[in-house]
């Protein structure tokens, strides 16, 4: 379906109540006010010529979502791998203990479950962190993700970040593990070096290997309440050393919120200068952080408003879904955005507009793509039941229609209904 007209849709960011959008050859050809004389004449002629038209019925159109940080390998494992204390440390320990019991087939089935849900909610791109290690059991997830990546190509584009750490020898010297990583079609290298006793050395090793293979760097950074945990400072040094601007992403950054404002602002300014991308993971960090606080319990998320005020590139990710790190969620980035709004005081109209950028255009930029609703751009969008950003966040409608690569790839049924007198059971 390359050429068609979408009538009566709400386009946030444009000074229009409703718009008509013409799609030609899979691109946005024309965007016009729905109430204009031009639109009236155009639609009459279009329909008289028996061309294809879709009535948007006032639904809101967005670029497809990009979930820039998730963990496909761990999704839907909570029943198998509980977390009794709710802490990050127990989640890591319990998952590592359970990992040898997982089969590749079962893991792929869970990955499909999350990806299918994500697509149905409007996600077009996803970056997943996958545990990789020196033993066979540790690399089942990597093999599964590599196969899933090909299976969903063109429907949900997947980037794989191999998470490595606590190895018997540095990755730059571990030829066998290098072969495993590169044979599984990875896009980047990651890890959580702040949890290692040799944090700086691990960061050095990861950058050295990634730069030798032109791979992305995407690290879990400072997912701690301790203000003295600052692995991001050494990450910044390595970005400078290897000229890894716009190729490095730091997720979590929780300790920024625990330290004094002056110190945090200095780090954020350096990240902006070196063009290091930031990702906040509100759902998981609200669950995991601040558990040892006896008063003034911290939210645990990074300084999102500070990043926004300084116009840094920061995105929101879903992180963990129904696993020992975070027992809830189902892959809907609209729900994740609502959690981010609550966690970070994003309630002004300007902040809410920025929030939607943090699940659409900003993470797409981190992914290495552009995705905007404007004339000439590739048509890649989700139609969401409801009108405008406030209503979408408030109602959390499940009604979605997703268009990618010149075809409709998913449709969820409408969920908003209005009670009418007599419309009840006797």
| Residue 193: CATH number of its domain | 3.20.20.140
Lowest mean pLDDT among 77-81, 134-138, 191-195, 372-376: 134-138
- Please tell me whether residues 74 and 130 are part of one structural domain: yes
Q: Categorize the per-residue pLDDT at 321 as very low, low, confident or very high, splitting at 50, 70 and 90.
A: very high
Strands of the sheet with 314-316, listed across from one edge:
65-70, 123-131, 157-163, 188-191, 216-221, 248-252, 277-280, 314-316
Residue 370 has pLDDT above 70, yes or no: yes
Task: Say whether pLDDT at 425 is over 50.
Answer: no
For residues 36 and 7, the model is more confident at 7
Return phi, psi of residue 341, to 5°. Answer: -65, -45
- Among residues 367, 388, 404, the one where a domain terminates is 367
**What pLDDT is stored for residue 386 in this prediction?**
93
pLDDT of residue 426: 40
- The answer to whether residues 37 and 84 belong to one domain is no
pLDDT of residue 203 exceeding 70: yes
How much is the average pLDDT of 326-351? 96
Query: Strand 19-24's sheet: what is its strand order?
Result: 27-33, 19-24, 4-9, 53-55
- The structure tokens listed for 253 are 């950054």
Edge-to-edge strand ranges of the sheet holding 407-412 = 60-63, 381-384, 400-404, 407-412
What pLDDT was estimated at residue 418?
54
Question: Do 167 and 282 fall within a single domain?
Answer: yes
pLDDT of residue 77 exceeding 70, the answer is yes
pLDDT value at 85 more than 80: yes
Q: Which residue has the tokens 């809830």?
A: 328
Q: How many CB atoms lie under 10 A from the CB of residue 309?
A: 11
Is the pTM here over 0.85, yes or no?
yes
Rounded Cα distance between 383 and 70, Å, is 23
- 385, 245: one domain: no
Q: Regarding predicted confidence, which is higher, 157 or 15? A: 157
Residue 424 has pLDDT above 60, yes or no: no
Tell whether the model's pLDDT for residue 74 goes beyond 50: yes
Q: Which of 121, 124, 63, 66 is nearest to 371 (CA)?
A: 63
Q: Are 252 and 281 in contact (CB under 8 A)?
A: yes
- Averaged over 84-96, what is the pLDDT? 92
Buried b (16+ CB within 10 A) or exposed e, 264-288: bbebbebbeebebbbbbbbbbbbbb
Whole-angstrom Cα distance, residue 211 to residue 90?
33
Same domain, residue pair 93 and 110: yes
Query: How much of the chain, in percent, has pLDDT values that exceed 70?
Result: 96
Asked whether residue 318 is domain-assigned, the answer is yes
Q: Do residues 206 and 127 both lie within one domain?
A: yes
Conformation bin of residue 263: beta by default, left when phi > 0, alpha when psi is -120 to 50: alpha
Give the model's confidence band at 47: pLDDT under 50 very low, under 70 low, under 90 confident, else very high.
confident
> Are residue 22 and residue 156 in the same domain, yes or no?
no
> For 31-45, 141-155, 403-417, which range has the lowest pLDDT when averaged over its residues?
31-45
Q: How many domains does the chain have?
A: 2
Q: What percent of the chain lies above the pLDDT cut of 90?
A: 80
Residue 98 belongs to a domain:
yes
Of the listed ranges 14-18, 28-32, 319-323, 398-402, the least confidently predicted one is 14-18
Question: What pLDDT score was predicted for residue 381?
Answer: 97
Answer whether residue 422 is part of any domain.
Answer: no
421 lies in some domain:
no
**Whether residues 103 and 251 fall in one domain:** yes
Any idea what DSSP says for residue 387? S
Calpha distance 254→222 (Å, rounded):
6
Question: What is the structure's pLDDT at 416?
Answer: 63
Confidence of residue 149 (pLDDT cuts 50, 70, 90): very high
Mean pLDDT of the chain: 92
- Does 418 or 196 have the greater pLDDT score? 196
Instruction: Examine the pLDDT at 109 and tell me if it is beyond 90.
Output: yes
Q: Report the distance separating Cα 129 and Cα 146, nearest Å.
A: 12
CATH of the domain at 19: 2.30.40.10
**Stretch 31-48: mean pLDDT:** 79
In the prediction, which pLDDT does 41 show? 78
272 in the same domain as 137: yes
- Identify the domain containing residue 363 by its residue range: 65-367
Q: Output the pLDDT for position 372.
A: 95
What is the CA 218 to chain-centroid distance, rounded?
13
Strand partners, 30: 22
- Both 159 and 86 in one domain: the answer is yes
Q: In this structure, are 41 and 159 located in the same domain?
A: no
* Domain shared by 208 and 294, yes or no: yes
């Amino acid at each position: 379906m390359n050429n068609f007209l979408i009538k009566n849709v709400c386009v946030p960011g444009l000074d229009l109540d409703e718009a008509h959008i013409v799609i030609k050859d899979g691109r946005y050809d024309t965007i016009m006010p729905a109430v204009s004389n031009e639109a009236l004449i155009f639609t009459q002629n279009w329909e008289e010529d028996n061309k294809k038209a879709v009535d948007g019925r006032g639904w809101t159109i967005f670029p497809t979502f990009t979930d820039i940080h998730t963990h496909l390998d761990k999704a839907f494992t909570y029943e198998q791998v509980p977390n009794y204390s709710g802490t990050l440390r127990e989640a890591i320990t319990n998952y590592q203990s359970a990992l040898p019991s997982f089969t590749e087939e079962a893991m792929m089935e869970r990955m499909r479950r999350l990806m299918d849900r994500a697509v149905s909610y409007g996600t077009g791109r996803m970056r997943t962190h996958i545990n990789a290690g020196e033993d066979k059991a540790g690399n089942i997830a990597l093999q599964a993700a590599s196969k899933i990546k090909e299976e969903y190509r063109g429907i949900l584009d997947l980037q794989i970040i191999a998470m490595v750490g606590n190895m018997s020898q540095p990755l730059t010297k571990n030829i066998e593990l290098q072969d495993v990583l590169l044979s599984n079609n990875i896009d980047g290298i990651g890890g959580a070096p702040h949890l290692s006793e040799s944090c700086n050395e691990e960061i050095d090793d990861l950058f050295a290997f990634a730069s030798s293979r032109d791979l992305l760097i995407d690290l879990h950074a400072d997912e701690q309440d301790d203000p003295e945990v600052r692995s991001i400072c050494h990450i910044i040094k390595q970005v400078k050393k290897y000229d890894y601007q716009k190729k490095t992403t730091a997720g979590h950054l929780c300790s920024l919120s625990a330290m004094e404002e002056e110190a945090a602002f200095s780090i954020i300014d350096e990240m902006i200068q070196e063009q290091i991308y930031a990702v906040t993971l509100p759902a998981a960090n609200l669950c995991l952080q601040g558990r040892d606080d006896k008063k003034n319990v911290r939210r645990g998320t990074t300084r999102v408003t500070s990043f926004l005020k300084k116009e840094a590139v920061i995105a929101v990710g879903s992180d963990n879904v129904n696993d020992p790190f975070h027992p809830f969620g189902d892959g809907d980035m609209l729900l994740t955005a609502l959690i981010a709004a609550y966690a970070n005081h994003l309630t002004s109209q300007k902040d809410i507009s920025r929030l939607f950028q943090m699940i659409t255009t900003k993470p797409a930029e981190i992914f290495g793509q552009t995705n905007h609703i404007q004339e000439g751009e590739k048509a890649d969008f989700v139609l969401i039941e409801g009108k405008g950003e406030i209503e979408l966040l408030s109602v959390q409608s499940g009604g979605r229609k997703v268009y990618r690569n010149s075809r409709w790839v998913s449709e969820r049924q409408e969920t908003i209904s209005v009670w009418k007198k007599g419309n009840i059971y006797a």
